[in-house]
Amino acid sequence: MINIPARYSKVDYADVPKNIRDFVEKEPCNIYIHGGVGTGKTHIAYALAKKHDEVTQWTRFWNVTELLYEIRRDFNREDGKKADYLLDFSGLLILDDIGAEKPTEFVAETLYMIVNNRYNNLWPTIFTSNLSLADLAERIGDRTASRIAEMCQVFNLAGVDRRLK
């Protein structure tokens, strides 16, 4: 069962815009949701995760910056045990806020490996980002963004920062 933080504990599938609900109800769940800060991308992603998890209980949700932090922590583990993050996970994976991390060679290579594996295996993936795919390509590389573009339906959320209202 997916762990939903307190801030998003009351998310509901009805909160998801109708065009996104219509898509995920008839297509494999591969979507890229982008828009400005505070437009509801993470809220929507948690609502989709909650709905999917109710049916399959085979969902993982990662903020990309936190995921990369955890992967880096594995470098220094003395017990030899590495966390099993994503490479063999075939369920729905939600990668929240891709492109928010500081662009480094490690970031680009790690994200390419994760995205390429999901792309090759046709595994369902939802991405959220403040960046368009063109802007994401500049941050993490053309190869990764190209794979996301091919595998995903893109949804742009317009609007003002709901947190500042």
Q: Using the 8-state DSSP alphabet, how is residue 14 labeled?
A: G
For residue 141, being part of any structural domain is answered with: yes
Q: CA-CA distances (angstroms) from residue 156 to 5, 81, 121, 139, 142?
A: 24, 40, 26, 19, 20
Render pLDDT for 62-91 as a digit per residue (tens, 0 to 9).
999 999 988 888 777 666 555 555 678 899
CA torsion sign, 161 to 151 to 65 to 99?
negative
* Domain membership of residue 152 as a residue range: 16-77+86-159
For residue 10, being part of any structural domain is answered with: no
Q: CA-CA distances (angstroms) from residue 140 to 29, 65, 105, 157, 160?
A: 23, 13, 9, 21, 26
Query: Phi first, then psi: what are they for 34, rounded to 5°?
Result: -130, 155
For residue 3, being part of any structural domain is answered with: no
For the chain, the domain total comes to 1
Query: In CATH, what number is assigned to the domain containing residue 137?
Result: 3.40.50.300
Indicate the pTM of the whole model. Answer: 0.90
Render pLDDT for 38-53 as a digit per residue (tens, 0 to 9).
888 999 999 999 988 8
